[in-house]
Structure 1
Amino acid sequence: MRERSIGWPTFVALFAVLLLLGLIGWLFNAPLEMIGVGAAGLLFWHYQHMRRLSSYLWRDKRFSPPDGAGSWGVIYDGLYRLQQRNRRRRKDLAKLLKRFRQGAEALPDGAVVISADRTIVWSNQLAQRLLGLRWPEDAGQRIDNLIRHPDFVRYVSNAERSEVMVLPAPGEAMRMVEFRMMQYDNEQILLMVRDVTQWNRMEQMRRDFIANVSHELRTPLTVVQGYIEMLEDPQALPPEMWQKAHGMMLEQTRRMDSLVSQLITLSRIEAAERSDLDHEIDVPSLLNIISEEAKALGAEKAMQITLEVESGLNIKGDLMEMRSAFSNLIFNAVHYTQPEGEIDIRWYSQNGNACFLVSDNGDGIGAEHIQRLTERFYRVDRARSRKTGGSGLGLAIVKHALSHHSSKLKIQSSLTVGSTFSFVIPAELVVKK
């Protein structure tokens, strides 16, 4: 739109109209009266346009201003141009606000903007989920009225913004969240919220792992060290004790060797992003070998081990990992089943999948322990596990080995009834001959 303005031509035109009316009035001997009539008409015309402008500004919902001529046409055109400019600015601001909100929603952490008096100005959806905020109902509410934990109240009241605080999430005691405050501007504060539940759990597992490894190695090392110190003075050890000392040191050395071997196996499986699934595993032959080893292991208990295998049912996968999975489950059944107990081993196909199952009629496992059995070093009965030589790593190895083969360990157990451990290998890894 071409720029227009009220200048001298408008004034000259107005003066010419009044002069013309004066000349006409002079012809009729009434110049002042004609000029007065013209001025009154001009005032009425301006009044009409002013009324239309007032109505447009306060009551009219149209975007375009009224039509007008002369100087009022210039004013209306200027208003229309100003409206267009403001509309473009609003669109630009709306796009900028949309991009800001999209960026804030894409943040991996929750974000809450609070004012100096701790009222909530804005928050993204992740913060709303982590803190249980309702939006927009909680806009303008004090955040320390919604999150009433005493430590949090002290934290948001503290002028020091560099501190980090970890607290249970509101309404979810098992979920831990980390709070970090930073100055947003002179009047507002940005509160960042991060879910650190998994990090805390992994850190606790790391501490437990170090403590358990230290404990498991300290016991056999103490035994071996004690006998070695006795051997420094051969006269102090009677001949009949030599055989016992030799047997105990050998047993504890084997125990440490088994623990280290299982740690290496578990570390290797965990470190591998994926297993080589291109090799075919002859599972029936592998299970026959492991079952014979299990029979030899449980020979003193006079156990009845039954093996039911579907011939020709092979899978693609990592032989070492799957052997560890099969052997750990079967040997565990042997270790934790009472003398003259029964163990059933099955390998069969179902709906195109390959299924493995090992069940026993042992003491069983309490329901409160089942969810944690695959944690490293977790054992239901530490004394009994130490007696059987268990390290608490076997089921952790099974869990990770199966995860590399798109499978998951299932555990069913009842006290005094027995236990069943099973898993399913998906059809895409099954090879039938």
Structure 2
Amino acid sequence: MYYPFSWIKSVARLVLFLIFFAIIGWYVEDMLLAVAMGATGLLLVNYWQLFKLNRWLWHSRKMSPPSVSGLWEHIYEGIYYLQRRNRNKRKELGALVKRFREGSEALPDAAVVVDSKACIIWCNRLARLELGLRWPSDAGRRLDNLIRHPEFIEYFHAGKYHFPIEVPSPLNPLKSFEYRIMPYGEEHLLLIARDVTRLSQLEEMRKDFVANVSHELRTPLTVINGYLEILPDADEQLNPFVKKAYLEMSTQTQRMQSLIEDLLVLSRIEASSERVYENTVDMAAMLNQVKIEADALNKDKHHNIEFHLTPGVRIYGIETELRSACSNLIFNAINYTPEGGNIDVYWSVTKAGVRFAVKDNGDGIEQRHLSRLTERFYRVDKARSRKTGGSGLGLSIVKHVLNHHNSKLQITSRVGEGSEFFFEFDAEMIASQE
């Protein structure tokens, strides 16, 4: 037990000890010699206590200190108190580490911790089972020497961990893993590997189903539309009911054909393996062709459409996909802007790269709808979309095209003031510029 004023007692003992030897020296008439002998004895006693302390700290197996008195008793008690406190802290830390390991072993994903040199520090049980890591024999080995898929190595060394990457399992090529890397602490990385085989299979099944169904529906719709075309025109002599049925069937058949065409386009984009950097596109020339189609569509809308195009800029990309994305944005503006509105189409060079934008002064879109506009079949106004003949897939096609070209659709809109749909490519996408 520590006493705050124990030093006073120790000093008093020292003074009494020296006074005792001073009295002896006075009695034998040599006070200096007696005090020196007392101090020497006191020094020898303290050195002996230091020797015992050193032996207890380094060689003794006993936790409890030896029995001593005086100032040394307090020193031993203080050291013993610190030892017990550190021992309790080590127990708490050990329990915390044990709980962390138990929790990490219960994770449904493989987890690996690596340092700044990509050397493995720790991994959980699923990492050993699914990634083929061995613990602790693989401790200190480089992770990129154990997971050697080229796409993973490129992703790991690029240092851009904002999005995960999906590659086959190192043990089973039939399995797909989603790798996600998160930096933390002092230059440490946490790798999470999740088995997404089932999700990948379901996504492939969905794509195949949509593509196959869309393709199969084309034949019966073509037959129906062919028979409708050879029927008499809906003139005044027809029964009003028959006339209405004929017009409705024609309208719905055309709408279904448009929907199927959009589904097939979307399926082709999703399944496309064409590399973006193998082709170049003259965007200004391509947009001039789209302008002819836009003018034809605008004939009955009476909009004021202006194209502001910077010529001579070629970018890397797939022309059919970029044409589909740009035309969808332009045609949407024509269809959804009130009659007589203003529509501006921009293709320009910026400091960061190039930019395409379609701006109108229509009704605008509420903020709550903006994040969902690129979802399939999502409509802000369903009644109005049916009236304009929209399939609900246009912006979804734009989204997938831009994903394929490493960009994304951005939307700004204010109700009653209009909307702007735009996307940008960085300077690396520019192939040449006159």
Give the TM-score normalised by structure 2: 0.49
Greater C-alpha Rg: 1
Give the TM-score normalised by structure 1: 0.49
